[in-house]
Amino acid sequence: MKLKKIAQVCQTLGFSALLAVAMPSLAEVTSTQGPNGETATPYTEVTLNASQESAIKSKDYTAAILMHSTSDWSNALIDGAKDMFAELNINVVAVTDAEFDANKQKTDVETTMAMKPDILIALVVDPVSGAAAFKPAVQQGSKLVLISNLPSGFEHGKDYAGIVTDDLFQMGKLAADMIAKAVGDKGKVGFIYHEANYYVTNQRDQAVLTNLQKNYPDIEIVAKRGIANANDGEVVASALITQYPDMTAIYAPWDSIAEGVVAATRAAGRKDIKVVTMDLGAANALDMAKGRNVAGIVTDLPYDLGQTLARMGALAKLGEYTPPFVTVSASAVTRDNLADAWQQALRREAPASVQKALRD
């Protein structure tokens, strides 16, 4: 635990300033819509008929998958896409990890372009620099299918085949409901949000906030803190715990940040502070299985998301219509359904350590 860094944060901002930090101004979220207000198409409606499958299989197409980072979620998505591509006789020539670095992603795109993939699946790290990085690939002829984020200025049907993402409002509502359950529908809660122009996390975070404020009037959000670097989760949470010792729950925008939040609760000896986050990860799942701080995790269906992306790319190569905005569903994960949810979302068994903890 880096106590010196915590002290620097508090000293630089001052605790009064910490209280005043709020989320960026966003329109109230009431349903999941695309970046340009598109109505969501359910992922179950993206299908290929027998004739389309036969046509794709005869073409010997290639594909590349350019991810933003590595995680259990990313791995499941990649597995889903690879399995579908294999069914369609599409060869995956590259899989990359940008490590949340826009410059590295630009290099990844340039390296991949040399392989001239027919289909390109990508989660764009930065909308502005990503537009410049991916434009040459589109001009080269690759059919681009996007995961969640839209590059600035890109047009559906011209620059990309479609976006596939989560039902973000549903995820936010599920998280809010689990926070409320964890604190008995009342109490003081800390709210950590992603402080960046990042469509997915912005929408999810705002949906959590909207649902808490509308549906749970006896829950007080005592502080909202933005975070840009996932590695700062422990520092941010520790500052909140110090300032608000009567806090009983903290929301974290995704799993790696939640790991830092959990570490902060342990360092403070606060077994009573419950943590709710998004996306399945082994460390938080183990904490939940042991009945510690993690009370709820919202998961989508990354394997199915990957399969849908692959189908979208195949349809685009055939010149078929592809919807601009597609969503997969989400579910609430607690200790009671953790093993089943892991299998459903990631299409593999939970880690042995998690299974053992669930049995104990």
Query: Mind listing the pLDDT tens digit for each residue in 221-251?
Result: 999 999 998 899 999 999 999 999 999 999 9
Residues 6+ apart with CB under 8 A from 20: none
pLDDT of amino acid 5: 41
Question: What is the Cα–Cα distance from 350 to 340, expressed in whole angstroms?
Answer: 8
- The answer to whether residues 308 and 289 belong to one domain is no
- The answer to whether residues 316 and 277 belong to one domain is no
- Asked if the model's pLDDT at residue 77 lies above 90, the reply is yes
- Asked if the model's pLDDT at residue 32 lies above 50, the reply is yes
For residues 263-291, average pLDDT? 97
pLDDT of amino acid 180: 98
Domain residues for 178?
3-30+168-299+333-359
For residues 347-351, average pLDDT? 95
pLDDT of amino acid 3: 40
- Asked if the model's pLDDT at residue 47 lies above 90, the reply is yes
For residues 65-71, average pLDDT? 93
- The answer to whether residues 115 and 208 belong to one domain is no
- The answer to whether residues 63 and 147 belong to one domain is yes
Q: Is 292 helix (H, G, I), strand (E, B) or coil?
A: coil
Sheet of 119-122: strand order equals: 41-42, 325-328, 162-166, 143-147, 119-122, 62-67, 91-97
Mean confidence (pLDDT) of the chain: 91
- The answer to whether residues 136 and 210 belong to one domain is no
CATH number, domain of 150, equals 3.40.50.2300
- The answer to whether residues 148 and 267 belong to one domain is no
- Asked if the model's pLDDT at residue 15 lies above 50, the reply is no
pLDDT of amino acid 198: 83
Residue 29 pLDDT level (bands cut at 50, 70, 90): low
For residues 156-185, average pLDDT? 97
Whether residue 345 is contained in a domain is answered as yes
pLDDT of amino acid 13: 32
Residue 100 pLDDT level (bands cut at 50, 70, 90): confident
Whether residue 60 is contained in a domain is answered as yes
- The answer to whether residues 205 and 115 belong to one domain is no
Residue 31 pLDDT level (bands cut at 50, 70, 90): confident
- The answer to whether residues 57 and 153 belong to one domain is yes
Residue 87 pLDDT level (bands cut at 50, 70, 90): very high
- The answer to whether residues 149 and 71 belong to one domain is yes
Output the CA torsion sign for 317, 321, 324, 325.
negative
Whether residue 293 is contained in a domain is answered as yes
- Asked if the model's pLDDT at residue 325 lies above 60, the reply is yes
Angle between helices 282-289 and 338-346 (to 10 degrees): 160
- The answer to whether residues 281 and 308 belong to one domain is no
- The answer to whether residues 54 and 197 belong to one domain is no
For residues 131-156, average pLDDT? 96
- Asked if the model's pLDDT at residue 109 lies above 90, the reply is yes
Which two structure tokens, joined as six digits, stand for 181? Answer: 């359950």
Q: What total of structural domains would you count in the chain?
A: 2
Residue 28 pLDDT level (bands cut at 50, 70, 90): low
- The answer to whether residues 338 and 352 belong to one domain is yes
Whether residue 36 is contained in a domain is answered as no
Whether residue 207 is contained in a domain is answered as yes
